[in-house]
Amino acid sequence: MLALQLLIIASVVVIPLYFIFKAKFSKTKKISGKTAIVTGGSNGLGQQICIKLAQHGCNVIIADISSAKETLKKLEVYDIKSKAYMVDVSNYKEILKMKEDLKDEFESVDIVVNNAGLIPYKTLFEQTSDEIETLNKVNLNSTIFMTKCFIERMIEKGTGHIVSISSTQGIYAFPHSLTYCASKFAVTGFMLGLKEFLRREKLHGIDTTCILPNIMTTRKDIIDLLDEKK
């Protein structure tokens, strides 16, 4: 039991530190003139990612099931191209259609940011089977589908970057959000596997980044819920 506890503590502390130091000492990538597609970019963290990309001169494509008019408005002040597609990124056919549609305005997609996600703070018994299925489709399937759809062109070009937003709950399970943790563990595992695949295939021009955020104030509904539970 003690050994298991030490293993969990080591995972929670060492793994995030590894990614922090790796990011700190790695070379800064120039993204000016590149094109990034961000899922779930209409609000919250996704919107902030879009803004930060634009600040660095990166063209931004937003893929979201919700309207991204607010994000597009905030991107107007930057000298970049931006466009939003209303698409369900958990549906592979819709992603393929979007990929065809965006070819008219964007030569290629250099960066994929898999940010779309659902955070239901419910116990396993409070969630319906439909809610659980939808959660896994949005949190996991969209990450796999978006990567599958856009990485082939990156391999042809010999360059690209796949970024996925996992969570600290993707390396440490919390009892109040079992299904969310399971989906984020899967995202973390997928990204680790993808990194190893690219290494074994010697596809060194394609980078991967898996980000593990903690609780953020970008989602007012989640903050209000957590305040109620205090």
Task: List the CATH number of the domain containing 69.
Answer: 3.40.50.720
Residues 6+ apart with CB under 8 A from 69: 84
Structural domain for 73, as ranges: 30-228
Give me the pLDDT at residue 230, please. 56
Q: How many domains are contained in the chain?
A: 1
- pLDDT of 144 reads 98
Per-residue pLDDT band at 215 (split at 50, 70, 90): confident
Q: What is the pLDDT of residues 160-180, one digit of tens each?
A: 999 999 999 889 888 888 999
Question: Would 23 be classed as within a structural domain?
Answer: no
18 part of a folded domain:
no
Per the domain annotation, does 196 fall within a domain?
Answer: yes
Q: Residue 213 region, left (φ>0) first, then alpha (ψ -120 to 50), else beta?
A: beta
What local confidence, expressed as pLDDT, does residue 123 receive?
Answer: 83
Q: Record the tokens describing residue 154, joined without a space.
A: 């990156």
Q: What does the pLDDT look like over 44-54, one tens digit per residue?
A: 999 999 999 99
Q: Is residue 6 part of a domain?
A: no
Catalytic residue among 18, 78, 121, 180: 180
Is residue 4 assigned to a domain? no
78 included as an active-site residue: no
pLDDT in tens, 55-89: 999 999 999 999 999 999 999 999 999 999 999 99
More confident residue, 18 or 29: 29
Answer positive or negative: Cα dihedral of 215, 216, 219, 221.
Answer: positive
**pLDDT tens, position by position, 176-204:** 889 999 999 999 999 999 999 999 999 99
Q: In what order do the strands lie in the sheet with 82-86?
A: 82-86, 59-64, 35-39, 111-114, 160-165, 206-211
Residue 16 lies in a domain: no
Band (6; pLDDT cuts 50, 70, 90)? very low
The whole-number pLDDT of residue 121 equals 76
pLDDT tens digits, 99-148? 999 999 999 999 999 999 998 878 888 999 999 999 999 999 999 999 99
Q: Is residue 11 part of a domain?
A: no
Give how far the C-alpha of residue 77 lies from the chain's centroid of Cα atoms, to the nearest Å: 25
Residue 202 lies in a domain: yes
Q: Residue 28 pLDDT more than 80?
A: no
